[in-house]
Amino acid sequence: MAEQKQGQQPRDEADKPKPWRTEGVPDDKPSGASGSGERPPFSWRRFLLTSALIYLGLFGILSIQDSMTGPKEVAYTEFAKQVQAGNVKDVYARGDTIEGDLKAAAPLPEASGGETYTQFTTERPTWADDQLYAELTKQGTIVSAKPVTEQRGLLANLLVSLLPWVLIIGLWVWLMRRQAQAMGGMGGMGMRRKKSAPVDPEKVRVTFDDVAGIDEVENEIADVVDYLKHPDKYRALGARAPKGVLLAGPPGTGKTLLARATAGEASVPFFSASASEFIEMIVGVGAQRVRELFEEARKLAPAIIFIDEIDTIGRARGGSRAMGGHDEREQTLNQILTEMDGFSGSEGVVVLAATNRADVLDPALLRPGRFDRTIMVHAPDAKGRVQILRVHTRSVPLAADVDLDAMAKATPGMTGAELANLVNEAALLAAKAGQQQVTMKDFSEALEKVQLGAARNVVMPEQERRRTAFHEAGHALLGMLQPGADPVRKVSIVPRGRALGVTLSTPESDRYGYDEDYLKGRIIGALGGMAAEEVVYDVITTGAESDLENATAIARQMVGRWGMSEKVGPVTILPSDGDPRMMGISDKMLSTVDEEVRRIIDECYGRAVDQLREHRHQLDGIVTALLDAETLDEPEIYAAAGIERPRTIPADQEPARATVPHP
């Protein structure tokens, strides 16, 4: 599968806190529109503006209050007049500033209408030579050096008026955060959806035109698209759409893209979420999120809900595959089951889910009425890979020498995501070289980087370099000598990734089953490096670690899963996961499996050593060419070994053989 454009992000800022993403959701009705009947969404700008206006109002009120209740400012001559009249009760001096109280209210000199004062403040001129203190004490006036009122300044008024609002806002933010945590980010501000306008189908950017390589899967899911487009046709016959469709397959095969394309093809809103986003430490949050997700989808029906990696919450409850007690996970799963049961089939809401572990899902999810269909999405074949490469190279300028058919044949087993990465790597290499177009050489180098790893700048001693050449030559020679083995495509002693050298073998065409002879040939080829080191140097090094892992894994599956051992018989001993003892397998049977695995490995290793000793001159020829060129392509490898390249046999003309699934 392939995808050219990325998914559309939610446009409504109010939707951001929700734990799902949407596509094709209608534009919201402008706020303030009549007839909405709903409160407008929360706005930080409106909140801050309102808070500032309230603060300025309180600050002004406090300032006016201080000016009205403070002492009256009078002239010094008025003050001297009151002193002469004996009407001053007490004074409070601070520098040349005098404040005080009168014994009896006196009218203001400039006032009219009977305005009087009892508290006053005045400034004593510095050049005044009157005997003010003697006069005051003579009349029994209390004289003090403290002001009658400690009036707050500008900063004090600012702090007094601002501090309560700081406390209120802080408390409000704390409460909102607590509420958001309790509701999983779903509650509080900004969560009210405004009224919806008609859907614009052009805003859903992914359709079946962006999906390639899995035509049979498209045909299976086309029923859902047709129902969402023409529901009346089905309702007239009493039919209902599948409530749920499960997309199962390896990672990177395009399950998410297929779900988005289904929504885009039907021109309906698309709600997507990862199952892990529903899980929180607080019990009940996941179920709350599921309820809100299904509620939103029902409001905008017809719609599609897509849950990615559903095995995160949909694992079987109880049994050997259960992940232990987890109330939150089980409550979330129960809520999904309940919501899907609530569909009558006429709402037009279809649930799509994706997983690469369909075998661990709870049976309650897979029963009819919930996920009615399970669609397997496999890696594309050669024809599908060509279509995927064409989709991903739409916006990539290709040179005339680029052969997408040849690239498709050279990439067996690659998924849509891996092919997309291959195209991107080739484009990066072309851009780095300053080219205007991507050439076939760029694709070849990108394929080497993807399959073999990036080359490392490691200067190896000559002895280590020669030993690595014999190791890789052993892999290559045994791969060429085994009948029916995959052709050797490339051998290199340039360090790549974690390996000091690599040997690449790929089949001529896609293969879906393998017989016992082919698998033993794979083991012999894998042990070729270790065998070559023993034949030439009579030692075994740590470079064979990965080879031993691969050989042991193939042999163990041959004996324990595929019935390729006469001693064990045609029975399954080793499950795909879990402890075989949980299936009732005895320790004696497991010991027999180990013995048979050891027997197969020993036989294959013995054959590898014998063949390399018999063809030592061809081994030396490959090593000589490797030390000169460091990397050999397919024609160069066969020429160095003096072996004729096997003729390609079409897949439909190959002899029939007992086969097993891909190891």
Instruction: Classify strands 373-376 and 349-355 as parallel, antiparallel or unpaired.
Output: unpaired
| 193: confidence class by pLDDT, cuts 50, 70, 90 | very low
* Contacts (Cβ under 8 Å, ≥6 apart) of 109: 74, 75, 78
Dump pLDDT digits (tens) for 548-591: 999 999 999 999 888 888 888 888 888 877 788 877 888 888 89
Same domain, 265 and 306: yes
Tally the C-alpha atoms within 13 A of residue 397's C-alpha that lie toward its C-beta.
5
In angstroms, what CA-CA distances link 627 with 273, 402, 464, 476, 492? 53, 30, 11, 15, 10
Question: What CATH number is given to the structural domain containing 241?
Answer: 3.40.50.300
Average pLDDT, the chain: 76
Same domain, 349 and 288: yes
By residue count, the chain amounts to 663
Same domain, 466 and 436: no
Give residue 37's pLDDT: 43
Q: How far is CA 70 from the centre of its chain?
A: 65
Query: Which has more pLDDT, 656 or 644?
Result: 644
Give residue 271's pLDDT: 84
Report how many domains make up the chain.
Answer: 4
Same domain, 441 and 533: no
Strands (DSSP E) found in 384-447: none
The encoded tokens of residue 232 equal 């009346």
- Check pLDDT > 70 for residue 49: yes
Same domain, 432 and 292: no
324 assigned to some structural domain: yes
Rounded CA gap, 638 and 625, in Å? Answer: 11
Give residue 595's pLDDT: 92
Question: What CATH number is given to the structural domain containing 123?
Answer: 3.30.720.210
Q: Do 266 and 302 contact (CB within 8 A), yes or no?
A: yes
Give residue 598's pLDDT: 93
280 is catalytic: no
Edge-first strand listing for the sheet containing 88-94: 72-73, 116-123, 97-107, 88-94, 142-144
Question: What CATH number is given to the structural domain containing 386?
Answer: 1.10.8.60
- Check pLDDT > 90 for residue 599: yes
Out of 218, 277, 418, 472, pick the active-site residue. Answer: 472
Q: Do 615 and 477 contact (CB within 8 A), yes or no?
A: yes
Same domain, 294 and 265: yes
pTM of the shown model: 0.62
Average pLDDT for residues 34-52, to the nearest whole number?
59
Give residue 152's pLDDT: 61
Same domain, 338 and 400: no
8 assigned to some structural domain: no
Average pLDDT for residues 603-610, to the nearest whole number?
92
276 assigned to some structural domain: yes
Same domain, 211 and 341: yes
Same domain, 435 and 470: no
Same domain, 476 and 608: yes
Dump pLDDT digits (tens) for 77-123: 788 887 877 888 888 777 778 888 887 887 877 764 567 777 888 88
Residue with tokens 């003010």: 132
Give residue 431's pLDDT: 92
41 assigned to some structural domain: no
Give residue 2's pLDDT: 41
Average pLDDT for residues 385-412, to the nearest whole number?
88
Query: Which has more pLDDT, 626 or 162?
Result: 626
**Of the ranges 9-23, 150-164, 412-426, the best mean pLDDT one:** 412-426
Same domain, 548 and 606: yes
Is the four-CA dihedral 625, 629, 631, 636 of positive or negative sign?
A: negative
Same domain, 413 and 365: no
Q: Do 75 and 87 contact (CB within 8 A), yes or no?
A: no
Count of C-beta atoms within a 10 Å radius of residue 467: 24
User: Which structural domain range is residue 135 located in?
Assistant: 71-150
Question: Per residue, what are the HEC states of 563-589?
Answer: CCCCCCCCCCCCCCCCCHHHHCCCHHH
